[in-house]
Amino acid sequence: MSQGLDDVIAAETRLSSVDGARGVLVVKGFSLDRLAGQKRFEDVAHLLFEGLLDDLPDAKAFAARLGAAREAVYPLAQYIDDALLALPPMDGVRALTARIEDGEDVATALRLLAAPAVLLPAFLRRRRGLAPIAPDAKSGHAADMLHMLTGEVPAPEVAAALDTYLVTVADHGLNASTFAARVVSSTWSGLTSSVLAGLAALKGPLHGGAPGPIIAMLDGIGKPENAESWIEDALDRGDRLMGFGHRIYKVRDPRADALKAAVKRMSADSSALPGRLKLAEAVERAALKVLHKRKPDRPLDVNVEFYTALLLEALGFPPDAFTAVFATGRTAGWLAHAREQRLTGRLIRPQSVYVGPEPAELV
C-alpha cells in the first residue's frame, strides 16, 4: 500500500516525462525550453493529440478549427447567471464546460480545448458588469483569450507571455488532475467527463490552486525586508508556503524558470512589474533559506506556481481566476491523456486494504 501512490507506476505514456532529480520536463520528445516561448499553444496541443484522435487535421488546419471551436462554445456564455457569478471562476468554468456533450471525437476535443479560453474571460467580464466579447476565430488562441478579457488587442509580447504560460503547463506526467482524467476516461465515460474530473482535481490548493494565495502572500509581505520574518511566522502557524515543494521535483521546477523568463520579458514595458519581480525574488530567496533551515532533509524548492502568480497578475487576471487559466493550458494534456488511456481499453481499478471492523460472525 502506498498512501498518495508515491512511486506507483499506473500508466505508460508517450506524452510527457518529468525527471524530478534533474529538473527536466520532456513533452513528446521536446524538452520544455524547445517549446515554451518557441511554439504556439495550438501547435503544442496538436503535437499532444497526434496519433490519439481520428481525423486530426494538420497543424495549420487544427489552429483554424480551434478558432472555429472558440466561436462554437461562445454561446455557452449566455448561461452565466447570478448564481454562477457567485462561485469562484474555476467552478463557473467547470459548470459551463459540463454543458458540452460527451464524445471521443476531434470536434469534442476542440470544443473542450476552446472552452476555458472563451468562458473564463466571459465570466470575468460579466462579474465586472461588462458584456462578454466574442472570439475572433482568426486570432491566435492566447491573443484571443486576452482580447476577450480586456477588449483590447494585446501587444505581441503580452500575447506571447500567455502563450508561453499555456505551453509551459500543457502537460506534466501523471499529476493528480491528469490521473483523475485518465481514471474517468478508463470507464469509457467520454472526453467532457474526463476534463471535468481534471478541473475538479486541479482546483485544490495542493495542486493548481496555489497561485492565487501566492499573491496574498506577496501582498502580505509587502517589502523584501519583511520576507524572512513573515515566512517564519507562517511556518510557525503550520502553514505551507504556496509555490514551494513538489512531489516529483527534488530540484528547481524547470517551469519556474520558463515563466520567470516570460515575466522578465514583459517587465521591460511595465512600470509596476520590475518592483513586483524584485519582491518575488526576495521572497523566493527567504523561503528557500527558511525551508532548508527547518527541513534540511527535504529537498524543497520553488515550483511552477510561484512565477505563474506574477505572470498572470501582470496579464490582468484576478488571483481567484489563476487556476482556471492553468486549466486553459492543462486541458490539452488532459484530453491527450484521456484519449491515450481510452485507446488502451483498460479500466483503472486499484485495490484498497480494509482496516475497519470485521463482522462479529466472522471473528
246 is catalytic: yes
Which segment (78-86, 188-196, 205-213, 220-228) binds ligand ACO by CB under 6 A?
A: 205-213
Q: In what order do the strands lie in the sheet containing 30-31? A: 16-19, 24-27, 30-31
Which segment (79-87, 188-196, 264-272, 299-307) binds ligand ACO by CB under 6 A?
A: 299-307
Nearest position to ligand ACO, beta carbon: 245
Q: Which residue is it, cell 520574518?
A: 229
- Told to check if 305 binds ligand ACO by CB under 6 A, we report yes
Which segment (26-34, 222-230, 235-243, 267-275) binds ligand ACO by CB under 6 A?
A: 235-243
Instruction: CB nearer to ligand ACO: give 28 or 247.
Output: 247
The least distance separating ligand ACO from the CB of residue 176, rounded to whole angstroms, comes to 7
Q: Nearest Cα to 254, choosing from 308, 303, 325?
A: 303
Catalytic residue among 42, 104, 284, 305: 305
Write out 67-89 in H/E/C secondary structure: HHHHHHHHHHHHHCCHHHHCCCH
- Told to check if 181 binds ligand ACO by CB under 6 A, we report no
Identity (one letter) of the amino acid at 342?
Answer: R
Interacting residue with ligand ACO among 8, 61, 130, 206 (CB under 6 A) = 206
- Told to check if 304 binds ligand ACO by CB under 6 A, we report yes
**How many C-beta atoms surround the C-beta of residue 266 within 10 A?**
22
Is the CA virtual torsion 243, 246, 252, 257 positive or negative? negative
Interacting residue with ligand ACO among 44, 106, 242, 309 (CB under 6 A) = 242
- Told to check if 285 binds ligand ACO by CB under 6 A, we report no
- For the chain, the maximum distance between any two Cα atoms, rounded to a whole number of angstroms, is 75
Binding residue count for ligand ACO, defined by CB under 6 A: 18
Instruction: CB nearer to ligand ACO: give 116 or 190.
Output: 116
- Told to check if 113 binds ligand ACO by CB under 6 A, we report no
Cα–Cα dist 205/92, whole Å: 17
Interacting residue with ligand ACO among 192, 303, 323, 328 (CB under 6 A) = 303
Cα–Cα dist 75/334, whole Å: 24
Which segment (120-128, 151-159, 300-308, 341-349) binds ligand ACO by CB under 6 A?
A: 300-308
- Told to check if 250 binds ligand ACO by CB under 6 A, we report no
172 is catalytic: no
Q: Nearest Cα to 303, choosing from 255, 348, 350?
A: 255
The least distance separating ligand ACO from the CB of residue 79, rounded to whole angstroms, comes to 29
Interacting residue with ligand ACO among 67, 212, 245, 254 (CB under 6 A) = 245
Is the CA virtual torsion 66, 69, 71, 73 positive or negative? negative
Catalytic residue among 246, 313, 337, 340: 246
Instruction: CB nearer to ligand ACO: give 62 or 249.
Output: 249
- Told to check if 170 binds ligand ACO by CB under 6 A, we report no
Interacting residue with ligand ACO among 92, 198, 243, 329 (CB under 6 A) = 243
Interface ranges with ligand ACO (CB under 6 A): 206-208, 210, 240-247, 295, 298, 300, 303-305
Question: Which residues form the catalytic set?
Answer: 246, 305
